[in-house]
Chain A
Amino acid sequence: MTDIIKTDAVIVGAGPVGLFAVFELGLLDIKAHLIDILPKAGGQCAELYPEKPIYDIPGFPMVTGQGLVDNLMKQIEPFSPTFHYGEMVEALESIGSSEAPMFRVRTDAGTVFETKTIIIAAGGGSFQPKKPPVPGIEAFENKSVFYAVRKMESFRGKRVLIVGGGDSALDWTLNLHPIAERITLMHRRDDFRAAPHSVNAMRELVAAGKMDLLLGQMTGLKGDDGELSAVTVKGNDGGVFDLACDRVMPFFGLTMKLGPIAEWGLNLNENLVPVDTEKFETNVPGIFAIGDINTYPGKLKLILSGFHEAALAAQKVNRYVYPDKKVVFQYTTSSTSLQKKLGVA
């Protein structure tokens, strides 16, 4: 097992609100680890609308989704938070008391944290791969249907079907091609959004007879005990047939799913976490919820509300982390001690 990471605060989700929480905690000398299932920071802003303008961030008449994320990253730089990308927080266990909370947090990649506080900034939930609505697909998942490659070796000598037309589909077609016995790429049309050089590389392999390209859609899966034997394909010419294969990788983009948060012993209200409006703490002392994931009377799912929630939650986190420290209210404009932390004094 890997070493346990000990910290004061773990932030679940690196969306705009989780990022700003780093700032508010940092001013209070609290270091944070951020975990996000995405390979990058920014949550919805970066994943769903990077190029779109936002008009209601105070002080910014207009900023794009990605622009806001870039600015937040710059703003929290002085506090050098640790990012754990591509990992989903899976399990959470209380190992302390309500006066002195302590939690053990585990991700699906096996990283383990011991932390005094947890800030859930999970937004609309974790971004997860979309699952094709093919009957019985669950039985095959992680045995012969994969949405990501964790171990390339497990594809060695297999007949692999990759479905999709974007970068993920094309990248894995090219990466797995030398390992797999045979690769078939299936897409609904003969146009690919993926980077032109990978599309060209794929077309060359097809022309050389080294892999197959199929235009159609997947409608069924065949096999026993999760082991696939064939995929039912509806070709664009209307024909329906079975394609023998051992592994399928569907790439249909991401969708937000609440995910494991439902199993953490927190009160839930229609997939949202109820909090108080003084500290934005959940029913479990030491666990906070801020941003789109929380709910309280009058809640607005706005970035600016999430920022406010981060500031107030940080005050209470401070009391758990430094129970004996006197709380002094200070402005970043005039406090030299805050400015030192920001690296500007």
Chain B
Amino acid sequence: MVKITFVDAGGQARTVEADEGSTVMEAAIRNDIPGIDAECGGACSCATCHVYVDEAFLDKLPKAEPMEEDMLDFAFDVRTNSRLSCQIKVSQAIEGIVVTTPEAQG
């Protein structure tokens, strides 16, 4: 199990546990984390799972694939630490990862 902390736009934090090999989006949906809609169920075709990854963990993630970069165009207020949570695979390498959810996914 890997710990993931979700911080909402208002600063409220919640830590949940996720299986290795699943995705950060799936952990959010399973735990009813507000601010993540994941309309396409992880098919990388909706951008409603947009999160901001805590800077300390950015380097621990593999770079976004071109498909993820393209889909980020459909998210709002995209920053340098923006990622699509359905494309972040859960592994020991990201134990304790902190992600912030945007106010709205649009």
Q: Assign chain A's interface to a size class.
A: 20 to 34
Do most interface residues of chain B lie in helix, strand or loop, or is the interface mixed? loop
Q: Does B54 contact A (CB under 8 A)?
A: no
Do most interface residues of chain A lie in helix, strand or loop, or is the interface mixed? loop
CA separation between A312 and B43, bound complex, in Å? 32
Min C-beta distance of A224 to chain B, whole Å? 25
Asked if residues A49 and B73 are in contact (CB atoms below 8 Å), the reply is no
Query: Could you say which of A124, A191, A217, A256 contacts B77, with CB atoms under 8 Å apart?
Result: A217
B-contact bits for A159-193, CB 8 A (1 contact / 0 none): 00000111000000000000000000001110101
Contact (A252, B43) CB under 8 Å given A130-B106, A132-B106, A191-B69: no
CA separation between A193 and B74, bound complex, in Å? 11
Min C-beta distance of B10 to chain A, whole Å? 15
Q: Which residue of B lies closest to A124 (CB)?
A: B39
CA separation between A253 and B74, bound complex, in Å? 6
Query: Could you say which of B69, B70, B72, B74 contacts A130, with CB atoms under 8 Å apart?
Result: B74
Q: Does A343 contact B (CB under 8 A)?
A: no
Asked if residues A49 and B43 are in contact (CB atoms below 8 Å), the reply is yes
Q: Does B46 contact A (CB under 8 A)?
A: yes
Q: Does B40 contact A (CB under 8 A)?
A: yes
Asked if residues B106 and A131 are in contact (CB atoms below 8 Å), the reply is yes
Contact (A188, B45) CB under 8 Å given A48-B39, A133-B106, A256-B39: no
Q: Which residue of B lies closest to A127 (CB)?
A: B39
Q: Which residues, 34 to 85 on B, are CB-close (under 8 Å) to A? A: 37, 39-41, 43, 45-48, 69-70, 72-78
What residues of chain A lie closer than 8 Å to B39, measured between beta carbons? 48, 124, 255-256
What residues of chain A lie closer than 8 Å to B41, measured between beta carbons? 48-49
| Residue among B48, B78, B104, B106 with most chain A CB within 10 A | B106
Min C-beta distance of B9 to chain A, whole Å? 10
Min C-beta distance of A173 to chain B, whole Å? 15
What residues of chain A lie closer than 8 Å to B43, measured between beta carbons? 48-49, 52
Q: Which residue of A lies closest to B74 (CB)?
A: A253
Contact (A49, B106) CB under 8 Å given A130-B74, A191-B69, A252-B74: no
CA separation between A193 and B66, bound complex, in Å? 10
Q: Could you name 14 residue pairs across A and B whose Cβ atoms are closer than 8 Å? A: A48-B41, A48-B46, A49-B41, A124-B39, A130-B74, A130-B76, A130-B106, A133-B76, A165-B73, A193-B70, A217-B77, A252-B73, A255-B46, A255-B48
